[in-house]
Structure 1
Amino acid sequence: MRVHAEVRYPASADAVAAMLADTAFVDARDAATHALEHSSSVEGSADGAFVVRSSRAMPTDGAPAVARRFVGDTLVLEQTDVWSEPAADGSRTGTMTIEVPGAPVALRASLRLDAQPDGSSVETMEGDLKASVPLVGGALEKAAEPLVRSAIRSEERVGRQWLAERAG
């Protein structure tokens, strides 16, 4: 299943990259998704290329029965975002991988962080959500897609608040 999302931030690409490379932001982002527990790490820094890894345990009480059959009462999402060094204007490219250990479900996406002429920036995610399960893979993808979109919108809310608190 193809997944596309754009997140607009009222801050420069450099400021957004600094936010994305901050473990405190990643922890706040993950907590906002109602994770039961979460952890994160960052390799590198926003001055160059960086890799963000996070793991969060999520309740499955609202998930369809077909999904709960594979993961139980909780599922763990392991996310790895790999960002390139910035271009002269702060823009970057990257990749995102979200995997669910113990379940044949993964999201693989390309990322872009583009500086805008007005000083804002846009983060774009374009990828494929795949569930490699005969007969029920499509149902798993359909069940996971709203969760992915909800997480993206949650990241946008947390990110906008994060940037607003640090502006000026």
Structure 2
Amino acid sequence: MRLSVTLDLPTDPHAAALMLSDPAYVDQKVRASGSLEHHVDVTGSPEDAFTVTTRRAMPTDQIPGHLRNLVGNQIDVRLVEAWEAAAADGSRVGTVVVEIAGAPVRLSGRTALVANGAHRSTVTYDGELRATVPIFGSAIEQAAAGAIRSALQVEQDVANRWITGHGQAPQP
């Protein structure tokens, strides 16, 4: 199934890239997602290309009960965002992959960070979510899509607080 989610950020693309590549921000958003345990790795720099890799153990409470026996009490989620170097206007593109260990689910797609007016930008995640279970595939995809959307809504909230707290939001 196709999945597309956009985050609206009250800051320009350069400042957004600084945030997205900051290990402290990444750690904060992963913690806020409800992870039971996690690991964060950021390589590269916001002035060039950078890659953000997170691994997190997540409870399965967002997965419908009749599907939970397929994945157990927790799932291990690996997320990799590989951002290319910025264009002259600060925009950048990249790839995103989400894999769930022990579950036949994978999201792969593209990311984009672009200006959206003065002191505003958007981050878009657009990809294909696939579950390779013959009978329950569609239900698993729907559950995974809901969990991914929820996690990105949490990220939106964390990003807004981060930007406000770090003085990257435009001043009135």
TM-score, reference length from structure 2: 0.94
Deviations 1:73-123 (A, max 9, x none): 000100000000001111000111000112110111210000233121111
- DSSP 3-state at the match of 1:70: coil
Structure 2 unpaired stretches of 5+: none
1:37 to 2:37 alignment: yes
Tell me, what secondary structure is at the counterpart of 1:117? coil
SS in 1 for 2:125: strand
8 Å CA contact 2:62, 2:143 repeated in 1: no
| Corresponding residue of 1:9 | 9
Bigger drift between 17-26 and 64-73 goes to 64-73
In 1, are the aligned partners of 2:62 and 2:147 still within 8 Å (CA)? no
Amino acid of the structure 2 residue aligned with 1:119: H
Contact residue 106 and residue 129 of structure 1 kept, 8 A: yes
> How far apart, in 1, do the equivalents of 2:4 and 2:155 lie?
15
Tell me the matched-pair count: 168
Cα distance in 1 for residues equivalent to 2:84 and 2:96? 12
2:167 matched residue in structure 1: 167
**Structure 2 SS opposite 1:58:** strand
Q: After the TM superposition, which residues 36-115 of structure 1 pair with which residues of structure 2 at under 5 Å, given as runs?
A: 36-115=36-115
The CA distance in 2 between the partners of 1:66 and 1:115, in whole Å, is 43
Aligned match of 1:127? 127
Aligned structure 1 segments of 4 or more residues deviating by more than 6 angstroms: none
User: Structure 1: which 5+ residue stretches go unaligned?
Assistant: none
Aligned mates of 2:25, 2:33 — CA distance in 1? 13
TM-score by structure 1 length? 0.96
Change in 2 beyond 3 A, CA 1:65/1:82:
same
Give the superposed CA RMSD. Answer: 1.1
- Aligned identity (percent) is 39
CA deviations on 1:22-54 (whole Å, 9 max, x unpaired) are 111111101111110111001101010000000
Query: What SS does structure 2 have at the residue aligned with 1:89?
Result: coil
Stretch moving more, 22-31 or 117-126: 117-126
Q: SS state of the match for residue 61, structure 1? A: coil
